[in-house]
Structure 1
Amino acid sequence: MLLKCIAIDDEPLALELIQTYIGRRPDVQLIHTFEDAISGAEYLSTAQIDLIFLDINMPDISGIDLAKSLKNKPMLIFTTAHKQFAFDGFELEALDYLLKPIDYDRFSRALDKAIEVKKYKMSTPPEQDDAFIYVHSAYQMIKIIFNEVEYIESMEDYIKIHLKTNKTVLTLMTLKKMLGLLPEEQFKRIHRSYIVSVAAVKSVQHKKVCLNEVMLPIGESYAEQVKQWTKSA
């Protein structure tokens, strides 16, 4: 499988470095480079690519504005010398965020993630025991295996995914959107702030769901639904 990409950066030396780095990877093809965002945007209006290496601080259009304008957005890896743009990259679900001067090993790891995500998108649905999704967290794509999830907690614009290993993953997403990505028979919403893995539920008592070491409240509007699926379980 070949990962097709382009690079947009107003610094010729930065483009040369990206070209050199990609030249070391037989599984990645650099289709084109652009020294201004407008030319890059025109190319992207008709071309089909997998990944963009996109500088943020450019004179005509910023990389952030260009990314926001794309209708069919490829994977994005932002390249910049300015740390203050990191949150913008996170909101746009960038695959990664590389600070200049870019180290080859760090660059190569970003490409590895892009290839893994492309394989995931192209693959047939996995068996239930291995089913998973990817979420953006801390400027990375994190693989979330459904069978490893205990419960999911809403935190305003974010959700916190609590894993059975006691680790957590924070990602910018609503609980409603997350529920739509999960297998319905495996996950149930019990409260406006919580989704639980049915397999992780030990008991239901006193309007609370008991997990291994956590007790979560059942919302009034979800009480009947919880009653129904616990009966049929």
Structure 2
Amino acid sequence: MKLTCIAVDDEPLALKMLCNFIEQTAFLSLEDKFENAIDALAFTHKHEVDLIFLDIQMPDLSGMELARVLENNKKTRSTRIIFTTAYNQFAVEGYKVDALDYLLKPYSYEEFLKAATKAYQFFETQHQPAPIETDKKDYIFLKVEYQLVKVMLRDILYLEGYKDYVKVHLIGKPSPTLSLTSLKNMEDILPAAHFMRIHRSYIISLDHIDSITRNTVNIGTMTISVSDHYKENFLQFVNKWIG
């Protein structure tokens, strides 16, 4: 697998070095290079790009601004970014826009390769089925970082959609398990007799419901609203529950 990528930097020497690093890396394919973010944005409208190596401080449109535009565009939402900059104060802000990594100038090829490999591993997981279900079993496997984690169905309280991931809230776990998959994928895999989607962002375990109203479900200390789109199915369940 090769990752298609572009390089964006308004400093010619920095851009040249970046392009050389990309071309030295077997699993990267340099599609184009740009000295400003506006031209790079126009390119992404016409071409699919996996990865952008992106300088932050540039005139007209900064790298951070470009990242936000790409994140809010459905077509480019799957594009990932590795920032390159001489200013380390942007690191925290960079991760707020889901940047895969952050290269602080001047960086070596070894540092570049480490960041590029992280990107390759990220995309590699996306080409594999995230959760794997063993037919008629009481557990599933979830793709968590770069490993498959076994999760017992009886331990799942509810699932919460989060960008390109799903947060799986489990009994006895203070923090949710973060799996690289979609809520729709989980909805298809989980047994309908025990799990129900009640909101675009939530699937609940029917076995762990503590109380319900016509519009909400309470699981432990968590109250989850039932959205209009899923209300009819939910009310059918409520009627059976009451009956």
User: Is the shorter-chain TM-score for this pair beyond 0.5, marking a shared fold?
Assistant: yes
**Which of 95, 103, 111 is residue 108 of structure 2 equivalent to?**
103
* Structure 1: stretches of 5+ with no match in the other structure: 135-141, 172-176, 206-214, 222-233
Provide the rounded CA distance (Å) in 2 between the counterparts of 1:216 and 1:104: 49
Question: Cα gap change, 1:86/1:22 in structure 2, threshold over 3 Å: closer, same or farther?
Answer: same
Identity value in percent? 35
Q: Deviations over 1:110-147 (max 9, x none)?
A: 2222222323333356633784346xxxxxxx346442
Whichever residue aligns with residue 123 of structure 2, its letter is K
Provide the rounded CA distance (Å) in 1 between the counterparts of 2:186 and 2:2: 29
The match for 1:225 is none
Q: Deviations over 1:50-107 (max 9, x none)?
A: 1101111112211111122222221111111222222322221112122222232222
Whichever residue aligns with residue 147 of structure 1, its letter is K
* Structure 2: stretches of 5+ with no match in the other structure: 135-139, 161-165, 211-219, 227-243
CA contact (8 A) 2:4 2:50 kept: yes
Question: Cα gap change, 1:7/1:153 in structure 2, threshold over 3 Å: closer, same or farther?
Answer: same
CA contact (8 A) 2:133 2:141 kept: yes
Whichever residue aligns with residue 31 of structure 2, its letter is I
**Which of 116, 126, 139 is residue 121 of structure 1 equivalent to?**
126
The match for 1:23 is 23
The match for 2:69 is 69
CA contact (8 A) 2:187 2:203 kept: no
Secondary structure class of the residue paired with 1:17: helix
Whichever residue aligns with residue 26 of structure 1, its letter is A
The match for 2:117 is 112
CA contact (8 A) 1:95 1:114 kept: yes
Question: Cα gap change, 1:5/1:82 in structure 2, threshold over 3 Å: closer, same or farther?
Answer: same
Provide the rounded CA distance (Å) in 2 between the counterparts of 1:167 and 1:100: 38
- TM-score, reference length from structure 2: 0.59
Provide the rounded CA distance (Å) in 2 between the counterparts of 1:64 and 1:25: 25
Whichever residue aligns with residue 36 of structure 2, its letter is D
The match for 1:52 is 52
Tell me the C-alpha RMSD between the 2 structures: 4.7
- Of residues 123-132 and 55-64 in structure 1, the stretch that sits farther from structure 2 once superposed is 123-132
Question: Cα gap change, 1:11/1:195 in structure 2, threshold over 3 Å: closer, same or farther?
Answer: same
- TM-score, reference length from structure 1: 0.62
**Which of 72, 93, 99 is residue 94 of structure 1 equivalent to?**
99
CA drift at 1:46: 0.7
Whichever residue aligns with residue 38 of structure 2, its letter is I
